[in-house]
A = this chain, B = another copy of it.
């Protein structure tokens, strides 16, 4: 791995006093506001473990008293969570207007959560205090002061989230600053400036944080949302203006457009600004932790995600791959291993000779330069009619092997046929009447539709030659592809028992040139696994059944190739 990535001239980054930043994760509180994200208490405990393993300084666990789930979390956390590095924080709001802090329910729940630190939110915008809280500005300030004082008196470290701070400051700076001053005087440890609506740009955040920093004697924090697409940049701008506490969520989870994505913020600050965030030796954990948490919250990771995405260091253009082969930092802004990620080459029509040669070499296929030229030409021709090899490593491997002169000898397909019969709702009497009940039993009733209880029967027949023998097999399925898969396995499964451990795991369809309607070309991708590896194969045809068959056929051949490869004690094959 080359290490000669360019060092940035420190002069272009504002002069910085800070040498370290406290990372405050709010995935379990603000992050869980994301639409479609719902965590059980067990999930929350497991996410917290991951955050601690990553090395964030604070983990905001939820809002005790707001819902039974968060109550249970704070009850179980002290017994079930062994935090190595992080401090657990309970979230709440200031007292309600017109109440006393010591009698307020919200504050009582915060104290009862028995964490070392709490974070309370207060409205730091005069418009919000008047219109949303419907109280006076004086009471808004008193709510902040009283609540912080009370919590400090209970021995708690208090983070003060100044909600709507930036909007409030722009409209009525005196009030917003007065709220901060009250919290500081009451003993808060940190004034966290929140861009609650997410509408700020970095230049605004930078100048406002700088102004606040010059007026206060305690730590300044930043909490950004991504509504202008600038949450990460706004967090960085705040740090450059003097903030030393940064709130955000793993993978940018959060309401609307999400909170600042800590998987970008942390490496940006650590690697670009050269200021400590999480312990330096743990930075390489950020990619696995990002993916692990995505798994826990059941939201597919985004390939394009900076630093941690599967495509973050993937190279496609031929121009680039040949340059990368010469010089690792030509198209990589950091060494991907620093964040636990890696370089990946993607093959497509844009890729030139060097990518294809690399790929063949990796698979142990020896291709001379004529064979490479032939493979490139075929790849371009096929991609022109809709094939897309970069996502179909299995079909690409078969193409490369064929270019090297290989032919598959597992089986020969003579023909295949699909028949699919459907009798809509209400016509089951027809079914029985015309077929007799024994044949009708072959039909299955489905309730998957607005046209409920369709009776349907789909079967496929496959005829193959295998070791000189002609085999005909018929099988049923939930649909044409499922039936073809079953029939092919039935036909050849006796000769290839290894097929039992090979399963289709994903099936994707894309219609190409769709302006032509139902006569358009269809591209089918199938992912298959043998339990250890996953390979993707592809078919393209105007007929979706033909396209599916091609992908299926390639999928099975890759599986057999891989299994026979293992028998021959090599570890190459489809992957």
Q: Is the CB of A415 within 8 A of B424?
A: yes
Q: Could you tell me how many residues of chain A have their Cβ less than 8 Å away from some Cβ of chain B?
A: 164
Question: Does residue A327 face the partner (Cβ distance < 8 Å to B)?
Answer: yes
**A422 and B415 within 8 A (CB):** yes
Binds B, one of A136-144, A222-230, A277-285: A222-230
A305 contacts which chain B residues (CB < 8 A)?
257
Within 8 A of B (CB), among A301-355: 302-307, 309, 311-317, 319-320, 323, 326-327, 329-334, 346, 348-350
Residues 471-485 of A, flagged 1 when their CB comes within 8 A of B and 0 if not, give 000000111111001
- A418, closest chain B residue (CB): B420
A307 CB to closest chain B CB (Å) equals 8
User: What distance in Å separates the Cβ of A167 from its nearest Cβ neighbour in chain B?
Assistant: 5
Complexed CA–CA distance, A547 and B449 (Å) = 8
Contact indicator B478/A519 (Cβ below 8 Å): yes
Pair A479/B519 contact, Cβ less than 8 Å: yes
A–B complex contacts, Cβ < 8 Å, 27 sampled:
A6-B127, A13-B203, A13-B204, A131-B326, A132-B326, A197-B331, A197-B333, A198-B333, A202-B202, A228-B306, A229-B264, A229-B307, A230-B232, A230-B268, A233-B233, A233-B234, A255-B317, A256-B312, A256-B315, A415-B422, A422-B549, A449-B539, A454-B541, A480-B544, A505-B517, A506-B511, A506-B517
A234 CB to nearest B CB, Å? 8
Q: Separation in Å of the A118 CB from the closest CB of chain B? A: 17
Name the segment of A360-368, A376-384, A491-499, A559-567 touching the other chain: A376-384
Q: Please give, as numbers and ranges, the residues of chain B lying within 8 Å of A420 by CB-CB distance.
A: 417-419, 480, 543, 545-546
Residues of B within 8 A of A519 (CB): 477-479, 482
Query: Quick one: closest B residue to A324, CB to CB?
Result: B132
Which residue of B93, B232, B320 is within 8 Å of A255 (Cβ)?
B320
Complex interface: stretch among A19-27, A36-44, A97-105: A36-44
Residues of A429-452 at the interface with B, using a CB-CB cut-off of 8 Å, are 430, 446, 448-451
Chain B residue nearest in CB terms to A268? B228
Copies in the complex: 2
Q: Are B33 and A334 in contact (CB under 8 A)?
A: no
B480 x A543 contact (CB < 8 A): yes
Give 3 nearest A-B pairs by CB, closest first. Answer: A199-B333, A233-B233, A229-B264
Which residues of chain B have C-beta atoms less than 8 A from A198's C-beta?
306, 333
CB of A56 within 8 A of chain B?
no
